[in-house]
Each structure stands twice: as C-alpha cells, then as structure tokens.
Amino acid sequence: METEKILTVENLTKVFYKKNGEAHTAVDGVSFDLFKGEIFSFLGPNGAGKSTTINMLTTQLSTTGGEIYFQGTSLHDNPIYARSKVGIVAQHNNLDRGLTAIENLIYHGIYFGMSKSDAKKRAEELLKDFGLTDWKNEYVKSFSGGMAQRLKIARAIMHRPDILFLDEPTTGLDPAYREVLWEHVLRLKNEYQTTVFLTTHYMEEPERFSDRVAIYNKGKIKAIGTVEELRKLVPSESIVTLQLEELPPLAMKEILLLDGVNNVSQKDEKTLIVYVSESKSILNRLINWVEERKLILENINLSTTTLDDIFIYLTNDKKEN
C-alpha cells in the first residue's frame, strides 16, 4: 500500500438542530487519513453518521467544524477541485431518471473531462459488465432497484476517480454483480491507484478486501487499523454464540463467572456473544449452565473471531467485564 496521503480529516464535526432547537451531534470530532491506493472501510450501525461523513467529504454537506484536505488542498477553499477527483455511489437513487442508461454514463463522463467517443466506449464496456446492455436505451425511471444500483456503480467509476466513495454499494445486488463490482474496484486500485472509501453491512467484504478498517459508532471512531490489528482488541480469538429462547436478567454476569470465559456481550434480545480463552470444555460448561437454569437453548456455536464479532464487540454497550 502506498503511504502518500490523499485525504486528511481533522476533527470533523457536524451538528444538526431540531425544530425545538435541540442539538444533535451526528459526527463528533472525527480524524483520520486516507492513503493513495488503499481500500478503507468505515463500518458502523445504522444511524451512526457514516453517510453524513461521506456527504461532508464529498462537499455535498457543509461542516460544523474541522478541516478536510484533499491532496493538501482545503475542501472549504476549493470544493470544485475535490469534486473533479471523486466518484460516489450514494445510498439514494441520484440517477437522472429522464435520461437513458447510456446517456447517464456518457454525460457523466463528459462532465468529468472525457471525450464523447471515449465516454461512449467506456459506457458500453460498463453496461456490458453490469448486465445492462439490453436496457442501455431505456429510460432509468423504468429500472428496478437492482438495475439502478448497477448503473449507479457504473456511473461512479466511469471517469476512474482518484477516490471512490461507496456507500452501501452492494445493497440490492445479487452475488454475481457483487463480484463484478469488486472486480472493477480492485482493477481501479491496482491499475490506477484509486483510493476506495467503503461503508457496508456485508462484513465479508471489508474482511476480504480492506487494507484498513475504522469502527464507527455514535459519531466517533472507536478503533482503526487492519483487521488483524482490530482482532487484538477483542478479548479472545474464539467465541461462542449462545442463543436462548429467553435471556434471564443475570445471564451475562453468571456466564462471566464460568471458567474460561473472558468477556460477554449481548448481540440481541436472545443472543449472547461469549469470548473464551479455551474451547475444549467451554461448550459443555455453557450447556450445563443452560440446563441447570431450565432454559431453552435454541442454538450454540463455537467459532474463531470474525470482523462481524469485532464490530459487535466494539460498538456494543451491553458488555460485562
């Protein structure tokens, strides 16, 4: 991975005000760097402020505080320069519904400085790759959600941007087109040193492709690093997922007292994540605990720690230590 910084974020803040004057801080003093040619995943729960952050980084939303520098140039001082260098796949459908699929792509390419012939050639290639050739002359307003998503992705990568912002890009895509997306993303990274800023709820994608991951919650970055570096922040390399028909009030405290248990967190109203230091007999101890309390066990599973487990641990306030 290149060490050249392409984007620097310093103490970025966004405050929204409700009608009654109450302030809501959506982004709370966030700082990080993006490096040329890296895939950077920005992961957080719904409502954590991820899209708000992207909107500020791409000049679509003003900041309340902090600084953003693109290749050393302040976005506040020169937003037009930054816009010319980025591609964006937003969560909402921002295609021009009054244009055909190929017109959307060609006009986008020309806007970013491509000749009409180059834009047409590139558009034809992308339409083929994303399975839209047969609909290239159809108006976008007639497209299904999945077709529109594929076209949004094709449009974002038309001009081979320096930074590609992907905000939940694979939502609505079937597995085949998810692979097509990542084929193009990796080609941009490897051939053009494109930097990719990704948000997603498909944890296998950042685990598989990311150079670095930021775990984000309630407007703040909880941790940032490679997947292996983040894995070290979790109490153990092995976890047990314990799902009961109903969790008793003191379940977490009682399980924490069992031999071999390092920590416990609650995933949802029925499921506990148990971080264990040894796995040979811990399943038996947990099953015995369930039977002693006459609880109904729905599922129990032992596995190595994944990025999904890291995410749950770092963003979950329901933990026993």
Number of separate domains in the chain? 2
Q: Are 274 and 300 in contact (CB under 8 A)?
A: no
Give residue 197's pLDDT.
97
pLDDT of residue 212: 97
Helices and strands (DSSP H and E) totals, the chain = 11, 15
CA angle 110, 195, 42 (to 5 degrees): 120
Q: Which of 111, 116, 121 is nearest to 88 (CA)?
A: 111
**Residue 47's beta-bridge partner residues?**
none
pLDDT at residue 299, as a whole number: 94
- Structure tokens given for 170: 């694979």
User: Order of strands, edge to edge, in the sheet holding 319-320?
Assistant: 297-304, 238-244, 271-276, 261-266, 319-320
Are 274 and 142 contained in the same domain? Answer: no
CA–CA separation, 223 vs 314, rounded Å?
Answer: 8
Could you read off the pLDDT of 240-287 as tens digits, one per residue? 999 999 999 899 999 999 999 999 988 889 999 999 987 778 999 999
**Domain coverage including residue 79:** 5-230
Size (the chain), residues: 321
Query: What is the reported pLDDT for 318?
Result: 64
Task: Write down the pLDDT at residue 319.
Answer: 63
Query: In this structure, which amino acid lies at residue 311?
Result: F
Q: Which long-range contacts (CB under 8 A, 24 or more apart) does 181-190 make?
A: 181/153, 182/209, 184/129, 184/153, 184/157, 185/39, 185/157, 185/209, 188/157, 188/160, 188/164, 189/37, 189/38, 189/39
Please say which residue of 230, 263, 296 terminates a domain. 230
144, 185: one domain: yes
Task: Find residue 87's DSSP bridge partners.
Answer: 164
Rounded Cα distance, 257 and 247, in Å: 16
Please give the Cα distance from 7 to 172 (Å, whole number).
29
Could you say which of 230, 264, 291 is where a domain stops? 230
Q: Is the pTM of this model over 0.85?
A: yes
Q: Which two tokens stand for residue 37?
A: 């040619």
Q: What is the mean pLDDT of each run of 10 residues along the chain (321 residues)?
A: 84 93 93 97 91 94 95 90 91 90 96 95 96 96 92 95 94 90 94 95 93 95 95 89 92 93 90 86 92 94 89 78 59
Whether residues 214 and 264 fall in one domain: no
- Give the CATH number of the domain where residue 144 resides: 3.40.50.300
CB 274 within 8 A of CB 281: no
For residues 154 and 197, membership in a common domain is answered with: yes
Residue-wise pLDDT for 299-308, tens only, equals 999 988 889 8
Residues 225 and 239 placed together within one structural domain of the fold = no
Which residue has tokens 């009608």?
Answer: 19
Amino acid 115 reads S
Per-residue confidence (pLDDT) for residue 23, from 0 to 100: 93
**End of a domain among 230, 245, 265?**
230
- Is 208 strand, coil or helix? helix
Rounded to whole angstroms, the Cα distance separating 125 from 117 reads 13
Looking at the structure, tell me whether residues 165 and 99 fall in a common domain: yes
CATH code of the domain covering residue 283? 3.30.70
Residue in this structure with the two tokens 């409700």, named with its chain if needed = 18
What pLDDT is stored for residue 93 in this prediction?
Answer: 85
| pLDDT score of 133 | 97
Same domain, 215 and 84: yes
